[in-house]
Structure 1
Amino acid sequence: MMDFNADITSLVLPDGRSINDAIGNEDDVKRVLDQISDAFGFRGFMVLAIPDSGCHSLAAQALLTSWPMEFLRRYDSAGLIEGSPVIQRLRRSTIPFTYDAHLLARRRVDGKGEAAISVFEAAGMPRGLYLPVHDAKGGRAAIAFGGDREVVSSDEMQALNFWAGLLYSRLSEVRTHDRRRPGSLSRREIECLRWAAAGKTTVEMARIMALSEYTVNHYLNRATRKLDSVNRVQTVAKAMRAGLIN
């Protein structure tokens, strides 16, 4: 049985690089996933909460991702999640599988096959794989890697499945810990809240802080969760009352 609580600092990536720092927060998880994605020749990754049948937005289910924000916008704008063979498979199976946008397009029954191909091709991610994962409480998700490299081998699939289980387990632990420590905002979270309090939009904050829109939203959403708020306005108000921003 795999020990997900083992010290990962001694583990080595396929290209020989080692992970030098322990994973203590979500940024560390993202950093390691970026390393793994790069080491295996993918363009990016996404940690995806399994959407229920009433969900209409892929972006809303992305817990962590390096996939382009424009990809998420185009995917949701085209309404691709409802008829997605991938989402349907993730809902009923826990077995890892590869994807090919062109092959999947033939399996869509909603007539949106060409739109799906266009979205994935434009992002440079026509092929990849999905790795179903779960946490200690049985919560289900998936970690996806996408790019234009050749189909992964069985050995690569096994290695990626190991990393996915290990990192999602750690991510779940970190998120649970954050919820128990509602006042512990990171420097980046506080910085984003300060700009939000100043009336800056997500686009403006991304430009000012030299970050992607997704990353800014990620920090803001994490701050909202930590402060147990229902929206961004309430998060800013709570942070000001707590003296976290002024």
Structure 2
Amino acid sequence: MIDFSVDVSSLVLPDGHVISGSIENEDDVRGALGRVSEGFGFRGFMVLAIPDSGSHSLTAQALMTTWPMDFLRRYDSARLIDGSPVIQRLRRSTIPFTYDAHQLARGRVDGKGEAAICVFEQANMPRGVYLPVHDAAGHRAAVAFGGDRSAVSGDELQELNLWAGLLYSRLSEVRTRDRRGPGSLSRREIECLRWAAAGKTTVEMARIMALSEYTVNHYLNRATRKLDSVNRVQTVAKAIRAGLIN
């Protein structure tokens, strides 16, 4: 059994690894979630803001993810968020649950069951878990882990729920701190701005840095927020004037 009063640094993943060191920024949270995902045998994770009924894009609700960008594009192109049994469940319940794309398809009433199966199978993520979380201000979200491993056990679900709660709380603390002041740019944010200043597109930067397009945009958007800019061009200009890039 897991002691729910302990810190993440004292918890051991199923592969025997621990998450050592402090978690001080979003990169640290991303890295920790990535290690949890790998440790439990998943292909990736997503931190998802619970969408309201007017939202039609999963990509717009993804706060942080390593799920393939192609998956998000195909999901949104088919408008699978409309009528999704998962989204409906997340809106009304805070209980963690597993998912199986084939079983969920049977719960859709919009005739998009086969399309949903295809999207998840193509991404090699037909099974996984959704773990509802919330921060100190009561904002609700969910952490999802997906892959093609066997269904998780009850004990694994409990462990994943603990990891999700701890790391989402830390993510919320970091984001609240960053909103209070510009703070310093991370190494990845500066690297993205340097390539942007060199005229590279998001696709080119993703290829150069071995990251997803989503992740590159995440770093650029975060730098824009920290430097209180309105667009990427202004962010690059401010970074140059501040001596952050040259």
Paired residue secondary structure (1:16): coil
Distance 1:228-1:140 versus aligned 2 partners, 3 A rule = farther
TM-fit CA distance, 1:78: 1.2
**Match of residue 235 from structure 2:** 235
Partner of 2:162: 162
Stretch deviating more after TM superposition (125-134 or 180-189)? 180-189
Superposed CA RMSD in Å reads 1.7
Q: 2:174, 2:136 → 1: CA distance?
A: 13
State the Cα distance separating 1:239 from its structure 2 match. 2.7
Relative to structure 1, is the Cα distance of residues 80 and 132 closer, same or farther in structure 2, using a 3 angstrom cutoff? same
Is the contact between residue 51 and residue 61 of structure 1 (CA under 8 Å) also seen in structure 2?
A: yes
What letter is aligned with 2:79? Answer: G
Q: Which residue identity lines up with residue 126 of structure 1 in the other structure?
A: P
Deviation string, structure 1 residues 49-80 (Cα, Å, up to 9, x no partner): 11111212111111111111111111111111
Instruction: After TM superposition, give the deviation of residue 25 of structure 1 in Å.
Output: 1.2
The letter for the 1-side match of 2:245 is: I
Task: Show the counterpart of 2:46.
Answer: 46
User: 1: distance between equivalents of 2:56 and 2:238?
Assistant: 30
* Deviation string, structure 1 residues 109-166 (Cα, Å, up to 9, x no partner): 2221111110000000111110000000001100001111221111111111011100
**Alignment correspondent of 1:181:** 181
Find the aligned partners of 1:82 and 1:240 in 2 and give their Cα distance. 43
Contact 1:48–1:62 under 8 Å retained in 2: yes
- Residues 192 and 205, structure 2, Cα contact 8 Å, conserved in 1: yes
- Contact 1:80/1:112 (8 A) holds in 2: yes
| Distance apart, 1:238 and its partner CA | 3.3
State the one-letter code of the partner of 1:202.
Answer: T
Tell me the equivalent position of 1:82: 82
2:95 maps to 1:98: no
Range with greater deviation from structure 2 (114-123 or 173-182): 173-182
Q: Does 2:48 match 1:56?
A: no
Aligned to 1:190, the other structure's residue is in SS state helix
Mean Cα displacement is larger for which, 104-113 or 234-243? 234-243
- What amino acid does structure 1 have at the position aligned with 2:142? A
Pairing of 1:15-26 with structure 2 (within 5 A):
15-26=15-26
Corresponding position of 1:115? 115
Specify the SS of the correspondent of 1:244.
Answer: coil
Identify the residue that residue 144 of structure 1 maps to in structure 2.
Answer: 144
- Aligned positions of 1:18-37 closer than 5 A: 18-37=18-37
Deviation at 1:100, TM superposition (A): 0.9
Matches of 1:96 and 1:228 in 2, distance apart? Answer: 37
CA drift of 1:234 comes to 3.5
How far off its partner does 1:240 sit?
3.5
**Measured at CA, do residues 183 and 245 of structure 1 come closer, stay the same or move farther in structure 2, by a change above 3 Å?**
farther
Q: Could you tell me which runs of 5 or more consecutive residues in structure 1 were left unpaired when the two chains were aligned.
A: none
1:210 offset after TM fit, Å? 2.5
Number of aligned residue pairs: give it.
Answer: 244
The Cα shift of 1:10 comes to 2.1
Residue 233 of structure 1 deviates from its aligned partner by 3.3
Alpha-carbon distance in structure 1 between the residues aligned to 2:87 and 2:230 = 27
What's the CA shift for 1:2? 4.5
Once the 2 structures are TM-superposed, how far is the Cα of residue 243 of structure 1 from its aligned partner? 3.5
Q: What is the alpha-carbon distance in structure 2 between the residues aligned to residue 231 and residue 88 of structure 1?
A: 34
Give the letter for the 1:151 counterpart.
Answer: A
Q: TM-score, normalised by structure 1?
A: 0.92
Amino acid corresponding to residue 244 of structure 2 in structure 1: L
1:109 is paired with a residue whose SS is: coil
Contact 1:56–1:81 (CA<8 Å) still a contact in 2? yes
Q: Determine if contact 2:8/2:163 at 8 Å carries over to the other structure.
A: no
Is the contact made by 1:51 and 1:87 (CA closer than 8 Å) also made in structure 2?
Answer: yes
For residues 93 and 117 of structure 2, the distance between their equivalents in structure 1, rounded to whole angstroms, comes to 23
